[in-house]
Structure 1
Amino acid sequence: STELCANKDIRQEVRIVTHQKKKAMLFDVVHSRPYDKILIFAGTKRMVSSICRDLLQSNVRAVESHGGLSQTKRERALQLFQGKTNVMVATDVAARGLDVKNISLVLNFDFPQTVEDYVHRIGRTGRSGTKGEAITFFTENDSPFARDLVKVLIQANQEVPIGLKDIANRSKKDSVSFRDASASRPKTFNRLSVSADWKKAARVR
């Protein structure tokens, strides 16, 4: 929906990145906020475990929660996160119904399946009149969500990165181009131009 309303008490930041740089950027964010309560979302159980393992190896107190864990282990992870463990890495499924006070930052390592889910994710911070923050890594694969994400940011009076605007404008043109393209035209029709422009968007984010 384009009528989604994000909490205006949440400062939203979208970072245009390549997939290869996401892990390094995540570590920069987490290590710069040693006392913040951080909820990290990843798209798969495997990635959740990978991120959590890497954080633990770098001396960050972190727990993981996903559908591959038993209910007992998920409940234990929640207890730790409610206590002295500052970082939880989770999938959308595992975070349903999650109610933890004082989450300072929601970090979207992977963009969710829908923009509605994006709004729900970031709503875990900025509760009860407090200020919150959300950082989202946005890659080439997320381009189809650019236009609706821009609308959510504008509605909440948030800054829209130049790179994201460029991607949104390009995806609009691409959708028209694909509709108008003849059936005989290769499916890779404008993929090269999109890929070539992506690095440029990342540089101007």
Structure 2
Amino acid sequence: MFVRIVNAHVEKLARDALLDPVRIVQGEVGEANADVEQKVLIMPNQDTKFHWLCRNLVEFASLGKVIIFVTKKLDAEDVAKKLRLKDFPLVLLHGDMLQAERNENLLKFRQKSQILVATDVAARGLDIAEIRTVVNYDMARDIDTHVHRIGRTGRAGNKGTAYTLVTE
């Protein structure tokens, strides 16, 4: 099931549901990056989410580099392990790695690998124009992190797609 995020619909829902809504704007109104298409998919469970990822990952990687974001180190290791068992070559990145190991893995991602499984350590400061797809395998903890995650794609005038996977 696809749900397209459209600010007007969210604002209308808030006005209808709340008594005295307050609008908080970060950045300029109407200045969202038009080069990033956002899609939200609602999945019945974790297994469905993983199968969807496996079915679509080859196509995503054929378009350019892919980042799969998860919230915790253990989740990153688990998703990476499961994808490797399905023969997906990938790079893993999380905050518990030594800085030298993180730098080495980022270099592998920049130069060779098409797929990066990462925690939010990769959500900021990563500027790789070839990233075409971001998959929020786990939802971000807050809106700022979400914005930074999806901002890894659609850079330097390139188009990108950000998928957010939600389980019921």
The residue aligned with 1:3 is 25
Relative to structure 1, the CA distance from residue 137 to residue 93 in structure 2 (aligned partners, 3 Å threshold; closer, same or farther) is: same
The residue aligned with 1:125 is 153
Amino acid at match of 1:96: R
The residue aligned with 2:49 is 22
Secondary structure in 1 matching 2:146: helix
The one of 82, 102, 106 aligned to 2:110: 82
* Residues in 1 aligned to 2:45 and 2:140: alpha-carbon distance in whole angstroms: 15
More strand by share: 2
Secondary structure in 1 matching 2:60: coil
The residue aligned with 1:191 is none
1:38-58: per-residue Cα shift (whole Å, max 9, x none)?
A: 011001101111111122222
The residue aligned with 1:38 is 66
Q: Which structure 2 residues correspond to residues 1-205 of structure 1 after superposition, within 5 A? A: 2-4=24-26, 6-20=32-46, 21-35=48-62, 36-140=64-168
Amino acid at match of 2:116: M
- Runs of 4+ in structure 1 off by over 6 angstroms are none
CA displacement at 1:94 relative to structure 2 = 4.2
* Residues in 2 aligned to 1:54 and 1:122: alpha-carbon distance in whole angstroms: 23
TM-score (ref. length: structure 1): 0.63
* Residues in 2 aligned to 1:70 and 1:18: alpha-carbon distance in whole angstroms: 36
CA displacement at 1:120 relative to structure 2 = 1.4
Larger radius of gyration: 1
Where does structure 1 lack aligned partners over 5 or more consecutive residues? 141-205
Where does structure 2 lack aligned partners over 5 or more consecutive residues? 1-22
CA displacement at 1:2 relative to structure 2 = 4.5
State which drifts further: 2-11 or 21-30: 2-11
Relative to structure 1, the CA distance from residue 46 to residue 91 in structure 2 (aligned partners, 3 Å threshold; closer, same or farther) is: same
Amino acid at match of 1:67: G
The two structures, once aligned, show a CA RMSD in angstroms of 1.7
* Percent of aligned pairs with the same amino acid: 38
More helix by share: 1
1:85-126: per-residue Cα shift (whole Å, max 9, x none)?
A: 000011113443222221010100000011222111101101
* Count of residue pairs brought into register by the alignment: 140
Contact 1:6 1:119 in 2 (8 A): no
Secondary structure in 1 matching 2:128: coil
